Structure 1
Amino acid sequence: MTVQSPEPLAPTAPPSPSPEPTTLAGASAIIAGRVVRQFVRNRMMLIVTVAFPLLQLFMLLAAFSVLVRDTQDVDYVRRLAPLIVLTTAFSSILTTAIALWSDIRSGVFNRLRAMPLDMRAYVFGRIGGDFVRIMGVAVLVTLVAHTVGFRFSNGPLATLGFFGIVALFGMMCSALAVAVALVAQHPGIIVRYVQMPTLVMTLMSSGYVPLEAFPGWIQPAVGVNPVSLAAEALAGLSHQGALTVPVLGTAAWTLGVTAVCTVVATRRFALLVKRG
C-alpha cells in the first residue's frame, strides 16, 4: 500500500502589524468630538451656558430697554447682546474646569494613558472641543438676539471680526479653564476661584452700562477689564463705537492670559503624566 505524502501546509500569513499610534491631530479630533457630545447630552451644561444667558437677555431687555433708550438714546439690545454672547464663553470656564478635573481623576485619563496615544492630544482635544462649543453657542445666542432687534450694520467683514473677537475671548477662557483644572485639588476650589471673579468682572464691565455711568474712581479699572474691552469691541464691530483700543486690548489679554496658563498647564500636565 502506498502512503500518500501529506499535503503541503498553506503558507502561514505573517502576523498583522500592531496598530500604529493615532496621530496627534486625529486623536485630538476624537477627544474634541467627545467633548462636544458630552455638552449636548448634559442638561445642566446646556442650562448654564445657553438657557441662563438667553433668560438674562430677555429679562434685562424687558426691565431696562425703555429706560436706557429714553436716558441714553441708545437701543439697549445693541449694547447688551454682545455682553450676553461673551458670558456664554465666560460661564464655560467653570463647567469645563470641573469636567476636566473629573476626567483626570477618574478612569478616563488612565485608559487614555494606557493607549498608544500622545497625551497632549487630550489637552488639545479638550480645548478644541470647547472652542467648537463656544462658537456654536455664540452663533445661537446671536441668532436669538437677532429676533429682538440686534443687527450687524457694518458689513460682512465686521461680522467676521465680531466672531473673531468671540474666538479670541473663548481661547482665553479655555486656556484658563485647563490651567485651573490642573492646579485645583478639589472642585470646591474651582467654584470658589472661578465663579466669583468671573461674576464680578461681568458686573463691573461696560457691557451693561456705558463706562461713563460708573463713578470716576473706578472707571480706570472698568476700562481695562477684559470683559469691557471685548464687549466694546463687539459693539463697535456690530454697530458703532471705538475699535482700535478694544480690539488691541482684547488681543493683549488673550495672548497674556493664554501664555501664562499654557506655561502653568504644561508643567502640571507633564508632572501628572510622569507621576501616573
Structure 2
Amino acid sequence: MSVQIEHDKTAYEEVHPSNAIAGGRRPDPPNALASTMAFAHRALLRIKHVPEQMFDVTVFPIIFLLMFTYLFGGAIAGSTGEYLQFLLPGILVMTVSQITMYTGIDLNNDIRKGIFDRFRTLPIWLPSALVGALLVDVIRYSLASAIMIGLGLALGFRPEGGAMGVLGAVLVILLFSFSFSWIWTAAGIIMRSEKSLMMVSFLVVFPLTFVSNVFVDPSTLPSWLQGFVNINPISILATAVRGLMHGNGTWEQIGWVVVVSAIFVVIFAPLTMYLYRRKE
C-alpha cells in the first residue's frame, strides 16, 4: 500500500504545473545593445530568405542612372558625359531616399501579421525592434551607394574629391537616410495597409526628389520655384554630396544636412515610439 502511495505521489509531482516553471534565478533580460542586435539579425535573415527584396537597391539604381544619363543627358547638358558628372551625386541621393520607405513597410507588415504585439510583450528595450531594423537598412543604403558609384565610374564619372570625398558623401547620405527613415516608421504604424503606406510615401518622396536640384541646376527654374528647391531637404543633401564628391564641399553644406537630419530624428523618433506604445 505504501509503495502505491509513493508511486502516486511521484506521478503527481511530475505532472503538477509548478514543475513546468524553471526553478532557480531567472536570466537577466537582454540589454539595449543585445536586443537591438537580435532584431538586426532578424532583418538580415529576412533578406537572406527573400533576396528579391534587394532589387530596389540593385536593379532600380542601375535603371535610373542609365535612363536619365542617356535619355536626358544630351538634351539637358548637351553631353551625356558632362551631365553624368552633375547627375550621379543627385540620383544617388534620390535612389537612397526612395528606398527609406521600406523600413515603414516592413514594420507595417509585422503589425498586420501580429508579430508586433509579441514584440511589445518581451522584456526588452522597446525601441530595439525599430532601431535594429533601421541599422540593417543602413546596409541596404550602403549597397545601393556602392552600386551607383561603381556603375558611375564605369560610365566615366570622375569625382574630383577623390576617395575621401566619395566616402564623406556616402557617410552624409547614410546619416540623412537613417534620420529620414523615422518618418516612415511613424507612417508604418499609422497606415492600415502596405498599399496605403506606399501611396503616401510616393506622394511625399517623388515631389521632393523631382522638385529639387537632383536633375537640374535650380538657376534654370522659375524664380517662384527656386525658393522651394533651395529649402528642400533632398536639395540640401544633394548639394552637400555633390560638393564632397567634386572636392568643393563646405562645412556649411554638411552642417545643414546634420541640422535637417537632427530635426527628423527629434520630431519623428519620439512620435514613432509614442505610437508604438499606444498601438492597439
**TM-score range for the pair, normalised by the shorter chain length:** 0.7 to 0.9
What secondary structure is seen at the aligned counterpart in 2 of 1:18? Answer: coil
- Residue of structure 1 equivalent to 2:30: 22
Q: CA deviation at 1:131?
A: 1.8
Structure 2 residue aligned with 1:202, among 206, 209, 228?
209
- Residue of structure 2 equivalent to 1:9: none
| AA matched with 2:179 | M
Distance in 1, matches of 2:95 and 2:40, equals 19
- Residue of structure 2 equivalent to 1:4: none
- Residue of structure 2 equivalent to 1:150: 157
Identical aligned residues as a percent: 20
What secondary structure is seen at the aligned counterpart in 2 of 1:185? Answer: coil
Q: Between Structure 1 and Structure 2, which shows a larger proportion of helix residues?
A: 2
- The answer to whether the 8 Å contact 1:78/1:151 transfers is yes
- The answer to whether the 8 Å contact 2:101/2:181 transfers is no
- Residue of structure 2 equivalent to 1:123: 130
Greater CA drift, 146-155 or 110-119: 110-119
1:103-155 Cα deviation digits (max 9, x unpaired)? 12323223334444333211221221112221232222222222112233224
- The answer to whether the 8 Å contact 1:28/1:121 transfers is yes
1:68-119 Cα deviation digits (max 9, x unpaired)? 4437x97211221112222232222332211111112323223334444333
Distance in 1, matches of 2:180 and 2:99, equals 7
- The answer to whether the 8 Å contact 1:93/1:194 transfers is no
Q: CA deviation at 1:268?
A: 0.9
Q: CA deviation at 1:167?
A: 1.4
Distance in 2, matches of 1:142 and 1:87, equals 13
Aligned pairs (5 A) from 1:256-275: 256-272=263-279
Aligned pairs (5 A) from 1:95-114: 95-114=102-121
Q: Which runs of 5 or more structure 1 residues have no equivalent in the other structure?
A: 1-13
- The answer to whether the 8 Å contact 2:91/2:215 transfers is no
Distance in 1, matches of 2:247 and 2:164, equals 14
- The answer to whether the 8 Å contact 2:87/2:214 transfers is yes
Is 1:53 aligned to 2:53, yes or no?
no
Is 1:87 aligned to 2:94, yes or no?
yes
Q: Structure 1-normalised TM-score?
A: 0.83
Q: CA deviation at 1:209?
A: 0.9
Q: Structure 2-normalised TM-score?
A: 0.82
Greater CA drift, 166-175 or 34-43: 34-43
- The answer to whether the 8 Å contact 2:58/2:144 transfers is yes
Distance in 2, matches of 1:135 and 1:268, equals 29
Aligned pairs (5 A) from 1:125-140: 125-140=132-147
Q: CA deviation at 1:196?
A: 1.5
* RMSD, matched Cα: 2.5
Distance in 2, matches of 1:78 and 1:241, equals 14
Q: CA deviation at 1:260?
A: 0.7
Is 1:32 aligned to 2:27, yes or no?
no
Structure 2 residue aligned with 1:236, among 231, 235, 243?
243
Q: Which runs of 5 or more structure 2 residues have no equivalent in the other structure?
A: 1-21
1:195-252 Cα deviation digits (max 9, x unpaired)? 1120111111111011112111111111111111111111111115553443232222
What secondary structure is seen at the aligned counterpart in 1 of 2:156? Answer: coil
Distance 1:130 1:167, change over 3 A: same
| AA matched with 1:208 | F
Aligned pairs (5 A) from 1:141-220: 141-220=148-227
- The answer to whether the 8 Å contact 2:166/2:244 transfers is yes
Q: CA deviation at 1:45?
A: 2.8
